[in-house]
Each structure stands twice: as structure tokens, then as C-alpha cells.
Amino acid sequence: MDIELSPEDLSFQSEVRNFLKENAYKQGDYNKWRLNWFKLARAKGGWDIPKWPEKFGGPGWSPTQHYIWEKQTAVSVTPWDLPFGLSMLAPVLMNYGSQEQQDRFLPAIRDRKVNWCQGYSEPGAGSDLANLKTKAQLTPDGKHYIVNGTKIWTTLAHIADWIFCLVRTSDTGKKQEGISFLLFPMKQTGIEVKPIITLGGAHSVNMVHFTDVKVPVENRVGEADQGWTYAKGLLQHERTGLAGISRSLVALESLKEQAKGVKRGNGTLMDEPAFRTKVAELEVDLMATEFTELRSLAAAAGGHNPGPESSILKLKGTEIQQRIQKLTVEAGGIYSAAWGAKPVGHSFARAGMSGYLSSRAYTIYGGASEVQKDVVAKNVLGIKKSGK
């Protein structure tokens, strides 16, 4: 997609390009470079927290400037970053946290000093999240919650310092009405983290058990029993972040290059009409999804929650990522099957298969695709369920 860039936008684009080029990782202590990169980005005027509103130190960019940043960072080497504190919890604290909570937690999130994890899903509560059972009971003096229960699929719980957690504080009324939003440290008595190894052979998710975990009442965000409202806003930010449009644009370009290196008769795989058609279909879908992302960036730049379009982005963005992974495996042919052993054949084949297996989860986490379709049908298209 080409957007008409004004002279100011073009000058911003070269400023971003120069910054990314000058400060790219070369060699030496990666961690030192990483933290220094964020410092330098901060000195540019909030480039370390592009999506935060100006009031909280963000750069106050226009949607076009966000678009430029996304595109340029996708083709550059930038330091790794986790979304849990920065893109998920931070907007909740900005909208619903007390001044004391904002002062306490936001600076450490910005400085990348504290790793957060997300304690939403439970063995009986995934798509039907409001069914969650982890219980938080107030002590008689009203100063603490005592938390008991189990969370599942908790990404990076094994390296997290803190967790933001949905807990049940009331059993009366509608399921959604008795949920609270708590923050507490992971390294404390009563928390046990057990690894879950996924299809691609990686350890990124965990089962987390809480036994009589003591949480000060001032670590509750917002009102008691109102956590569902805050949790839903967070999910919209999470879904927008999962679409990965800029990354897909880069991945699709590298898929084309890979396919050009695969011989077919007198030509290459990229010359085959059937393969070209699949690539072209992906390009068209990617372009359409990019326009939706721009709409969502415009909302975020104004400090608003992204809204139900975030479900379109999550749905289409993750499906596109899976289709690219699938075509990469197809391009690798028989060599893709050797992914667990020594690399054989095309250099991309091994990573292609492990990427493909990991990508199966993209249409599950952050809310399964079927659930996103429900949200789009109801809140974007205004379709009512039959019989209602």
C-alpha cells in the first residue's frame, strides 16, 4: 500500500531511517545495546513508547507517522520487547489505575526493568473467560486479598517479575460482574510455575498455581468486581498488537525471494502460476488489512481503545501470518520435514517448519478466530443471533 506522504512525513521518514541505521546492533554486549537503544529512542521524544499518549510521554505522532514507524522498524533490527507491560497493562493503568499506581508501575514498564505476564486464561475459562474461578478473598481487616486457583497458557510466567491477573471476588449476579483486576509479584511464596512444551518444541507457556497468595488491596486496579470492563479494553490492545501486519509484509517479501531460489523445470517455484496466485491473494489480503490497521492507529493516537476493528485485525492478521508460514513449508518441499534434525536442502526449510508449527497458536491466543468472528458479526456488522 502506498500512502501519499507530505514533505513533513518524508522528512520524518528519513529521520526514522537514519535513527534505525545509526543505532543498529553491530557487535558486543546485546543487553547493553538494547537498554541504550531505548534511552536514545526516549531522547528523540518518546520514540521508546510510540503508542503511549503524549500525556504519558509518548511522541504524539499522527497515524501516518505511526505507519512510517511500523514499516521502518519491520525492516530494521530493533531490540526485542515484550507486549505485556508496554502495550497491554500500561493502557489499563492509564485509563483506570490510580495516580499512585501510575507513578509506581509505568516508569519501570517504560524502562523495561520489570517483565509482566498475563493471568487471564484458566483450565475452564479461555474463550468463555468470564467463567474464571481463581478466587480472591478479602481478609477480615480488608487490607489483603488471598488468592487461590490456577491459570494456564501463561506466556513467559517463568521469567516474569509481576503478573496482572483476573480473579473472582464475587459469586453473585452475572459472571462478568464479580471479577477484579489484581497486580502482584511472581516471585513469592504460594506461586508455582510449571512449564508446558508446545508443538514447535518451545517452552514459552506455563501452568501457574496460586495457593494462599497474599496481595495488598492497593494492588487492585479500579473498583472491586469491575475488572471485566478493564480486561476487555486490554484485549482490544492485545488483538491489535497480534496482527503483525508490518512483519507479514517483510515475511512475504522474503518468501518470494526463497521461492525464486527453488528450481522447477526451467524456471523457479515463483514462476509457477498456482504458487504465484497464492502469493498474489496474500498480497491483496495484506493490503486490505493494512488499511484497517491505519484506522486503528488513528484511534490509538487519539488515546482511545482500538474498538471492535481490533478483532478484524487479529482475525485477518493472524490468518495471513499462518498462510505465509504454510507457503514457506510448501516452498521448502520435502526438506521441510527434516526440521528436527540437521538442516537439509534449502536453508529456509528448517525454520519454515518450526515457524509453521508455532503459528498454529496464532489463531487461538488473544481470543480464538471463531470468537473474533462473533465479535465482528455482533459489534461491527450489527448481526443479531437468531432467536434473539
Ligand X SMILES: Cc1cc2nc3c(=O)[nH]c(=O)nc-3n(C[C@H](O)[C@H](O)[C@H](O)COP(=O)(O)OP(=O)(O)OC[C@H]3O[C@@H](n4cnc5c(N)ncnc54)[C@H](O)[C@@H]3O)c2cc1C
Q: How many CB atoms lie within 10 A of CB 311?
A: 27
Q: Which residue is nearest to ligand X (CB)?
A: 126
Q: Where are the alpha helices (DSSP H) in 53-133?
A: 63-74, 83, 90-96, 99-110
Beta bridge partners of 184: 163
List 82, 115, 374, 378, residue binding ligand X (CB under 6 A): 374
Spatial distance between the Cα atoms of 163 and 188, rounded to a whole number of angstroms: 12
Nearer to ligand X, 204 or 248 (CB): 204
Nearer to ligand X, 352 or 367 (CB): 367
Nearer to ligand X, 33 or 365 (CB): 365
Spatial distance between the Cα atoms of 67 and 26, rounded to a whole number of angstroms: 26
Nearer to ligand X, 117 or 182 (CB): 117
Spatial distance between the Cα atoms of 50 and 77, rounded to a whole number of angstroms: 16
| Residue 230 contacts ligand X per CB under 6 A | no
- Of 36-44, 114-122, 219-227, 237-245: span binding ligand X (CB under 6 A): 114-122
| Residue 118 contacts ligand X per CB under 6 A | yes
Spatial distance between the Cα atoms of 270 and 258, rounded to a whole number of angstroms: 9
List 300, 361, 375, 376, residue binding ligand X (CB under 6 A): 361
List 343, 370, 380, 383, residue binding ligand X (CB under 6 A): 370
Spatial distance between the Cα atoms of 296 and 304, rounded to a whole number of angstroms: 9
162-168 vs 203-216, strand pairing mode:
unpaired
- What are the phi and psi torsion angles at 281 (to 5°)? -60, -40
| Residue 377 contacts ligand X per CB under 6 A | no
List 127, 131, 139, 379, residue binding ligand X (CB under 6 A): 127
Q: How far is the CB of 122 from ligand X (least distance, A)?
A: 8
| Residue 372 contacts ligand X per CB under 6 A | no
Q: How far is the CB of 127 from ligand X (least distance, A)?
A: 3
List 13, 65, 101, 121, residue binding ligand X (CB under 6 A): 121
Q: How many CB atoms lie within 10 A of CB 206?
A: 21
Q: How many residues does the chain have?
A: 388
Q: How many CB atoms lie within 10 A of CB 21?
A: 10
Spatial distance between the Cα atoms of 324 and 318, rounded to a whole number of angstroms: 10
Number of amino acids touching ligand X (CB under 6 A): 20
List 38, 69, 145, 153, residue binding ligand X (CB under 6 A): 153
Nearer to ligand X, 223 or 370 (CB): 370
| Residue 241 contacts ligand X per CB under 6 A | no
84 neighbors 117 (Cβ within 8 angstroms): yes
- Of 29-37, 136-144, 152-160, 253-261: span binding ligand X (CB under 6 A): 152-160
Q: Please give the grid coordinates belonging to residue 379.
A: 459489534
| Residue 306 contacts ligand X per CB under 6 A | no
Q: How far is the CB of 77 from ligand X (least distance, A)?
A: 25
Q: Cα Rg for the chain, rounded, in angstroms?
A: 22
| Residue 357 contacts ligand X per CB under 6 A | no
Find, among 346, 348, 299, the residue nearest to 324 by Cα: 348
Nearer to ligand X, 248 or 372 (CB): 372
Looking at this protein, which amino acid is placed at residue 204? Answer: S
Spatial distance between the Cα atoms of 156 and 154, rounded to a whole number of angstroms: 6
360 neighbors 322 (Cβ within 8 angstroms): yes
| Residue 367 contacts ligand X per CB under 6 A | yes
Q: Is 180 exposed, middle or buried (0-12, 13-18, 19+ CB in 10 A)?
A: buried
Q: How far is the CB of 70 from ligand X (least distance, A)?
A: 23
- Of 117-125, 179-187, 229-237, 243-251: span binding ligand X (CB under 6 A): 117-125
- Of 25-33, 34-42, 119-127, 222-230: span binding ligand X (CB under 6 A): 119-127
List 65, 150, 155, 236, residue binding ligand X (CB under 6 A): 155
| Residue 364 contacts ligand X per CB under 6 A | yes
Footprint on this chain of ligand X (rule: CB under 6 A) = 117-121, 126-127, 153-155, 198, 205, 361, 364-365, 367-368, 370-371, 374
